[in-house]
């Protein structure tokens, strides 16, 4: 078997994890010893996994369950992964729960099993092997491509799924009985018991998300439970502000897959600052629509008055207001991220984001006037009906934002940066564009080269770009059925993606470059 370079490196041992553990500051105690133990795995590095508030939340919820403890696994190092807490192997546990938010991590999930000598295919595992459960947003978008590998998919919020799953794990059930019981439990898709690709009579499975009334309970507010400098959000106490989004952009799973826009009560958010205070002076507010919390101004002001430095994930353009920008700037933020998605009003209107460039530029002016120096703008190329004029419009918008940045810099003498982060449209399940074909590779390459040439002529403007190959693979594994298993397994075993995609072109291209005229295979579950 061909394996990646990673396999030659030794596994992370207790000594390797020691500096990570030493740097962690838990905001509450976590015992490493319990009557029941669950392996909680993130199919990426510690740095990425511990940046995920969802992953931290699951860790905390498992420890909240009486008698339970979780041990964390990441991809760091090579060889068989060892838990951070007690240096155990994945195969020492009766259940391994993976949290997966990005389809690209499917390969890492399989590599972690392989390095642990756990058979990849569920059909090859027996009573001696751990049950493999996958949660996270990928389980709810389209679990079919991973259905040959995963025993049970947990679809929805951990707050609703763990109270049903953990008691079943406490019972001394046989593997078959456990699968039967999970298959009867709302929110679980068990491929050995449900066959949505061949069984028309299967009743719809339901995702069990957090509902607005549950958010009225302070126990439903996700916040960081461990603060560490070794993550993307170094030293930040993360707080979730809301779920869903009031906007309905046609390509966005976050709005169509996560249900109605709902937010956490201000009082609970403010109370959480007290928990953070002994450990850090930095707060990161997270949500798909942070700036749309009805009391965002008050929350930022309170954080500032308590001496916290605040930062927010990207803000919806209409939510860029004085009451948001002032406290953010005063608390030390110097960068703002917006997502215009495209450069032309026509295309933005078509994607159901009816914000004209004139309004966007007013907001950008306001941002630089407040003293922010870095502006990050997210774009998506390969949109339906997109023309080369739309691509030129991205450059023109970047140029106008740069002008506004330079205007301000001429007063202060401090030049900032405008960054254009460009992605390629992945038509995702459950969005209005789920049936759309992906833009073809030649056209994408032409558009990318126009953008690169244009940005090269603009000092203080930078650009990052997703590769078309990455986008094709991601579209394939987002929309494919269970027949994608061989391709995913070969890629996980180290087969070069370019040659694999060339060889499997007759299988991959129709799924990616043709519209979906037939039934949508992922519609065996309801998202709300």
Site residues, ligand SF4 (CB under 6 A): 245, 247-249, 252, 254-255, 288-289, 316, 339, 353
Residues paired with residue 243 on neighbouring β-strands, in sequence order: 262
| Paired sense of beta strands 374-381 and 335-341, if any | parallel
What is the rounded end-to-end Cα distance, in angstroms, of the chain? 42
CB of 394 to ligand SF4, least distance (A): 16
Nearer to ligand SF4, 254 or 306 (CB): 254
Rounded Cα–Cα distance for residues 16 and 387 (Å): 51
Nearer to ligand SF4, 225 or 315 (CB): 315
Residue 130 gets the label, from left (phi > 0), alpha (psi -120 to 50) or beta, of: beta
How many CB atoms neighbour CB 16 within 10 A?
A: 15
Rounded Cα–Cα distance for residues 143 and 479 (Å): 9
Do the beta carbons of residue 125 and residue 119 sit within 8 Å? yes
Nearer to ligand SF4, 69 or 255 (CB): 255
CB of 430 to ligand SF4, least distance (A): 12
Of 24, 55, 60, whose CA–CA distance to 42 is shortest? 55
Nearer to ligand SF4, 146 or 249 (CB): 249
CB of 522 to ligand SF4, least distance (A): 19
Nearer to ligand SF4, 62 or 367 (CB): 367
CB of 67 to ligand SF4, least distance (A): 39
CB of 140 to ligand SF4, least distance (A): 16
Nearer to ligand SF4, 231 or 423 (CB): 423
Q: Strands across the sheet with 36-42, in order?
A: 68-73, 36-42, 95-99, 131-135, 152-154, 188-189
Place of tokens 């997109």: 386
Tell me the C-alpha to C-alpha distance, in Å, between residue 114 and each of 132, 270, 495. Answer: 13, 44, 15
Give the phi and the psi of residue 240 in degrees, each rounded to 5.
-80, 135
CB of 143 to ligand SF4, least distance (A): 22
Nearer to ligand SF4, 160 or 242 (CB): 242
CB of 422 to ligand SF4, least distance (A): 15
């Amino acid at each position: 078997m061909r394996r990646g370079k990673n396999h030659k490196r030794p596994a992370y041992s207790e000594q390797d994890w020691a500096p990570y553990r030493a740097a962690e500051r838990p905001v509450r105690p976590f015992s490493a010893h319990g009557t029941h133990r669950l392996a909680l795995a993130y199919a990426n590095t510690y740095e990425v996994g511990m940046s995920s508030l969802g992953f931290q939340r699951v860790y905390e919820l498992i420890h909240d369950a009486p008698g339970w403890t979780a041990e964390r696994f990441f991809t760091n190092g090579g060889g068989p992964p060892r838990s951070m807490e007690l240096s155990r192997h994945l195969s020492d546990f009766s259940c391994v729960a993976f949290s997966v938010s990005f389809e690209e991590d499917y390969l890492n999930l399989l590599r972690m099993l392989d390095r642990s000598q756990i058979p990849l295919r569920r059909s090859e595992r027996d009573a001696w092997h751990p049950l493999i459960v996958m949660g996270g947003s990928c389980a709810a978008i389209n679990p079919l491509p991973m259905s040959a590998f995963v025993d049970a998919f947990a679809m929805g919020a951990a707050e609703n799924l763990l109270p049903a799953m953990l008691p079943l794990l406490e019972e001394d059930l046989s593997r078959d009985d456990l699968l039967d019981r999970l298959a009867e439990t709302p929110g679980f898709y068990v491929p050995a018991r449900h066959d949505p690709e061949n069984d028309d009579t299967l009743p719809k499975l339901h995702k069990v998300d957090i509902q607005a009334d549950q958010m009225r309970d302070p126990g439903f507010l996700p916040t960081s439970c461990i603060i560490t400098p070794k993550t993307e959000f170094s030293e930040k106490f993360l707080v979730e502000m809301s779920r869903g989004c009031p906007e309905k952009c046609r390509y966005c799973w976050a709005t169509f897959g996560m249900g109605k826009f709902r937010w956490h009560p201000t009082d609970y958010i403010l109370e959480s600052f007290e928990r953070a205070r002994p450990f850090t002076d930095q707060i990161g507010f997270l949500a798909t629509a942070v700036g749309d919390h009805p009391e965002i101004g008050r929350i930022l002001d309170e954080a500032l008055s308590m001496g916290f430095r605040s930062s927010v994930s990207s803000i919806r353009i209409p939510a860029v207001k004085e009451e948001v920008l002032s406290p953010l700037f005063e608390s030390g933020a110097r960068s703002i991220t917006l997502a215009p998605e495209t450069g032309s009003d026509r295309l933005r209107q078509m994607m159901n984001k009816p914000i004209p460039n004139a309004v966007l530029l007013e907001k950008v002016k306001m941002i630089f006037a407040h003293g922010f120096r870095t502006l990050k703008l997210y774009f998506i190329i390969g949109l339906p009906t997109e023309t080369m004029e739309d691509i030129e419009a991205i450059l023109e918008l970047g140029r106008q934002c740069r002008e506004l940045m330079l205007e301000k810099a001429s007063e202060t003498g401090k030049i900032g940066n405008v960054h254009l982060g460009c992605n390629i449209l992945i038509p995702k399940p459950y969005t209005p564009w789920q049936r759309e074909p992906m833009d073809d590779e030649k056209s994408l390459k032409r558009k990318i080269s126009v953008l690169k040439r244009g940005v090269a002529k603009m000092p203080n403007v930078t650009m990052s770009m997703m590769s078309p190959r990455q986008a094709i693979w991601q579209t394939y594994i987002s929309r494919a059925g269970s027949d994608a298993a061989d391709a995913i397994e070969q890629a996980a075993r180290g087969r070069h993606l370019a040659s694999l995609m060339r060889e499997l072109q007759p299988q991959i291209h129709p799924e990616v470059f043709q519209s979906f005229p037939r039934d949508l295979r992922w519609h065996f579950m309801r998202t709300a």
